[in-house]
Chain A
Amino acid sequence: MSRELPLAGRFRRLVATLVDAILVPSLSLVLVMITDVMEDAEDYANLDLMLLWIFLLAIAAYMILNGYTLWHQGQTLGKWLMGIAIVPASSHVQAGFVRVGNEGKSVYVPAPFWKLIFIRALFFPVLFLWVVPWLALLPVLDQALIFGKRRRCLHDLFAGTIVVRV
């Protein structure tokens, strides 16, 4: 269907990750403030419920910021800014309308959305585990694989995806 897209550079991926790592928690914080889920002593009295709410609000923040672009282009906001995208490792085709053959006909190729949300995005909070000593190895392992030939981190391997320049 299309030629193989070039792999995204490690620097672009790093910057994209940093952008996401600032935007998503920032919006989560705003949502937590708006919804008052940890604003008084009563909230702390039901600590499990409070943590569940924060978790759900963090997912909501991720989806608000990245849901549309992930669905249509396989990109988070950070990746969109850096001109890179997530594509299936098997097809190497970015989501969206793709020209087929010589007649100029286009077909719509959806992103592997469920994989991006339910497998790949699950690794996003892993980035923040640096502060937990016995869990710090997980983000190290995840990120260290970027130095492999195909630049596929642990989350890429789990989701069957690859990050390319677009």
Chain B
Amino acid sequence: MNCLTMARRVFVSSGRRMPLPVVMMCFCAVFFTRVVVAECAALDSQVGFESSYAEGWGIDRRNTRYQPRSTIDSGNAAGLSLKWVYGLTSRTPRSYPLVTEDTIFLGDDGRGIVALERETGCERWIYEHDGQISSSILQGWIGEQRILIFNDRNDGMFAIDAVDGEFVWHAKVEDEPAPWYSGSPLVLGDTVILPVSSKEVGYSVNPIYGCCTTSGGMAAFDINTGEKLWYIPTIEEIAKPTERHWFFVQEYGPSGAPVWAAPSYDAKRGLIFFGTGQNYSHPATDTSDSIFAVDVETGEVRWVRQFTANDAYTAACNIEALNHPNCADPTGPDVDFGAATMLVRNKSGRELVLAGQKSADVYAIDPETGDVVWTQKLGRGGIIGGVHWGMAANESLGLVYVPISDKKIVGFPSPGEPTPGLYALDIETGARRWHYSRDSRCSDLECVFGFSAAIIASNDIVVAGSMDGILEVLAAESGKRLWSHDAWRDYPSVNDVVTSGGAFDAHGAMIADDLLLVSSGYSYVGQQRGGNAFLVFQVEVKNEP
């Protein structure tokens, strides 16, 4: 029922004639709606790709998550306003957008990759894909052909044409029987680096499953063909039978040490750095909860530095009632390096690998040797952090920003007082510069304040979204809050989908020019509010006369 029909019913039922202004307003509304719809329908599917605003998950290949190409700063951030909202099909959005001068590419579970016009949010084209798109979307080249690369969390890595969305290739890791493609790939010229974790962390919930035989790893593929170049498991030792439970079920070990996040790249040394998670079963290895340095050309491991030993844990450990046989004993503490590492330079020009752990520890590591330069403990940590998805750095200010979740998980012990918030540390020494925190919005679990999502920095601001659904812009030098948006609400969407916001988690926000883009509603852990909103904010930039 349109405006005109509705107004006519109201006035006719009350025995009055419709006033002329109401008639005019309704005609305008109908006309506007039709024109907008027609404009979206007639949208040019051609994608502009003169410039893009990220080289990968970490904005640059070093994973600093610092966006140099932005006009949003502390002076204008308070003027950020909602430009448009796109309603996703997924209520656990876990894709990180790629932005060009006129298009935004975004993954939507169950639909595929959508290419949205940057100005309006109208769909240019959709690459239909019925899987869970879990990564950032990257660009690369096959000769003259520009391609987009993304992960299906269960099915591997895909390449499609960036201009028209046509399928190009599909690559999987055949070396492991249960690979999980959670971490974003990294494009380095003709090579695509792909992190690999393992689904056994979830399979082990089944008590008649004999945990566990697989490990995480890192793979390299030829961007032209999708052919595998090399693969290194994080545990080289083949899993052997260990104990039995319930008479028949054979257990195995060692296993685990998955890689959850995008690697960071060191062009000078030709290395990539990445962290690993815990072991899934005993015996524990010296490569779990570790940082790896690997030669990009050959896949040769240059050094490995372990930070927590003897940490074995699976999702079975969350099911206390069963005294689950697939929960390793001794258990946990499950303090993966879930967040991506980053390679930064301090003010004196020294390069450091920075790594944040779910234990809430941050480490600065010498990229040459793997030696620890400094450490800093910022919270109590827990199975969703501590540091969960990723940090950001502003090298010109000499600061690294560390989001701390410290969220308690029901059914799992979380000893100590939580100290969630955003911390700024001196890159050179690890000393704390400032700490931002606030109260939870209510006492329910989904209201708990804390930063699990990755954050992003630009100019003199830091942007962080919290698990209780509030997106905040902070001043990079002081931690002062400049702007916030509460996403616990319904939104009108440009694609006419019922749309609501929820928690901010996973890959976090993207910044490009005058835009701030973020998905809201990641509820994968199941203890925070779900949603399906892709939000695009814009700041009004006043041109100098």
Number of A-B residue pairs with CB-CB distance less than 8 Å in the complex they form: 42
Q: Find A33's partner among B198, B203, B208, B212 (CB 8 Å cutoff).
A: B208
| Closest Cβ–Cβ distance, residue B196 to chain A (whole Å) | 13
Interface hits, B336-353 → A, CB 8 Å: none
Q: Find A41's partner among B178, B208, B248 (CB 8 Å cutoff).
A: B178
Interface membership of B288, Cβ < 8 A: no
Tell me whether A40 and B213 are in contact in the complex, defined as CB-CB below 8 angstroms, given that A33-B208, A45-B178 are known contacts.
yes
Tell me whether A40 and B252 are in contact in the complex, defined as CB-CB below 8 angstroms, given that A33-B246, A45-B178 are known contacts.
yes
Closest to B198 in A: A41
A41 near B203 (CB under 8 angstroms)?
yes
Closest to A35 in B: B248
Interface membership of B177, Cβ < 8 A: yes
Closest to B252 in A: A40
Tell me whether A38 and B199 are in contact in the complex, defined as CB-CB below 8 angstroms, given that A33-B246, A44-B177 are known contacts.
no
Interface hits, A21-44 → B, CB 8 Å: 29-30, 32-34, 36, 38-42, 44
A41 near B214 (CB under 8 angstroms)?
yes
Closest to A32 in B: B208
Interface membership of B381, Cβ < 8 A: no
Closest to A30 in B: B248
- Per the bound structure, the CA–CA distance linking A42 and B213 in Å amounts to 9
Interface membership of B250, Cβ < 8 A: yes
A33 near B248 (CB under 8 angstroms)?
yes
Interface size on B, residues (CB 8 A): 20
| Closest Cβ–Cβ distance, residue B206 to chain A (whole Å) | 7
A33 near B249 (CB under 8 angstroms)?
yes
B177 near A39 (CB under 8 angstroms)?
no
| Closest Cβ–Cβ distance, residue A26 to chain B (whole Å) | 12
Closest to A33 in B: B248
B178 near A39 (CB under 8 angstroms)?
no
A41 near B200 (CB under 8 angstroms)?
yes
- Per the bound structure, the CA–CA distance linking A59 and B214 in Å amounts to 32
Tell me whether A39 and B212 are in contact in the complex, defined as CB-CB below 8 angstroms, given that A44-B178, A44-B199, A44-B203 are known contacts.
no
Q: Find A39's partner among B199, B214, B250 (CB 8 Å cutoff).
A: B250
Chain A residues closer than 8 Å to B212, beta-carbon distance: 41
Interface hits, B245-261 → A, CB 8 Å: 246-250, 252
Interface membership of B385, Cβ < 8 A: no
B210 near A40 (CB under 8 angstroms)?
yes
- Residues in B lying within 8 Å of A, measured CB to CB: 176-178, 198-200, 203, 206, 208-210, 212-214, 246-250, 252
> Can you show 9 pairs from A to B with CB atoms below 8 A apart?
A30-B248, A33-B208, A33-B247, A36-B248, A39-B249, A41-B176, A41-B199, A44-B177, A45-B177
- Residues in A lying within 8 Å of B, measured CB to CB: 29-30, 32-34, 36, 38-42, 44-45
* Given pairs A40-B252, A41-B203, A44-B203, 14 additional interface contacts (CB within 8 A): A33-B246, A33-B248, A34-B248, A38-B206, A39-B209, A39-B249, A40-B177, A40-B209, A40-B213, A41-B177, A41-B213, A41-B214, A42-B177, A44-B199
